[in-house]
Amino acid sequence: MSTYFISDIHGCYEEFRILLEKSSFNDKKDYLWIAGDLVSRGPDSLKVVKYLYSLKDRVQIVLGNHDINLIAVHAGIKDNKKENYFDEFLSSPDSVELINWLRCQSFLKVDEKRKIIMSHAGISPQWDINIAKVCALEIEDRLSHKNYALFLKEIYHNNIDFWRLDLNQLDRLRYSMNSFTRMRYCYPDGRLNMFCKKSPDFVKYPLRPWFLMPSSISKVYSIFFGHWSSLKGTHVPKPFFPLDAGCCWGEELVMLRWEDGKWFSQAYLSKKCI
């Protein structure tokens, strides 16, 4: 039994299946952990989600910002933009079943035995592990609820970028969503920046990558995340494991096998991605 970590498939189904074959992934005995952004930008979001759905308990997923966007588009909360490549998914007879399955996925996965954490964008340096778990459960509960569309209407808010225990309930949910699915950089006081996407090699003070901020969590756990393709080629210290190598931008899809630390990669193929 092996555990594989991957992120930001972005509808690149062909590359994904080749990568699984290269790594000898066995869907009867191995486990696949995916750090979000299953869909969008690549051409085959429907195929990716249907395959993962078929794996049942062999797959562990945390949602990314593009997955949330798909759910919001399906609910009529956001517009379906051309670059999403969502038309096939939205017109599928399976779309409602698959969306309801996605809505019930996590924002944080924690393996206490192996001291592993996975989220899409990362973990707020203002949180300890207990706060992170509670905040994840709060937004998971709202997204899986039958009134999830109302939640999505209210959740997008760029100005909720600083954690305080006295945040009202809605702003607490907004901060959690921003932290788990959108952040890359922080300011020295811990405030999030959700706008800068550049490599740290080209960004100066006061912005710092979230994973270089002081944190009690990184002293204990290995942290897997995606979301940040421009980190490719940048030194990221352990215990952090960035998984987004920019396949949908013409780069690679990468995957790590936990047990022996071996990395696998598959180059972007000829299908057009945006």
pLDDT, position 43 = 93
| The two structure tokens encoding residue 147 | 């009134």
Can you read off the two tokens belonging to residue 159? 């100005």
CA distances, 208 to each of 174, 192, 205, 244 (Å): 21, 10, 7, 19
Predicted local confidence at residue 2, as pLDDT: 97
pTM reported for the whole predicted model: 0.96
Reduced to 3 states (helix: H, G, I; strand: E, B; else coil), residue 249 is helix
pLDDT at 197: 95
| Angle formed at CA 262 by CA 258 and CA 264, multiple of 5 degrees | 110
Fold of 3-267: Purple Acid Phosphatase; chain A, domain 2 (3.60.21)
Give, for all 274 residues of the chain, the pLDDT tens digit.
999 999 999 999 999 999 999 999 999 999 999 999 999 999 999 999 999 999 999 999 999 999 999 999 999 999 999 999 999 999 999 999 999 999 999 999 999 999 999 999 999 999 999 999 999 999 999 999 999 999 999 998 888 999 999 999 999 999 999 999 999 999 999 999 989 999 999 999 999 999 999 999 999 999 999 999 999 889 999 999 999 999 999 999 999 999 999 999 999 996 655 5
Q: What per-residue confidence (pLDDT) applies to 233?
A: 85
pLDDT attached to residue 273? 56
Tokens 């080209």 belong to residue: 202
Contact yes or no for 121/225 (Cβ under 8 A): yes
* Residue 266: predicted pLDDT: 97
pLDDT, residue 271, reads 62
- What does the pLDDT read at residue 68? 98
Distances from the Cα of 185 to the Cαs of 121, 179, 195, 221, 258, in angstroms?
10, 10, 8, 20, 27
Query: How high is the pLDDT of residue 158?
Result: 87
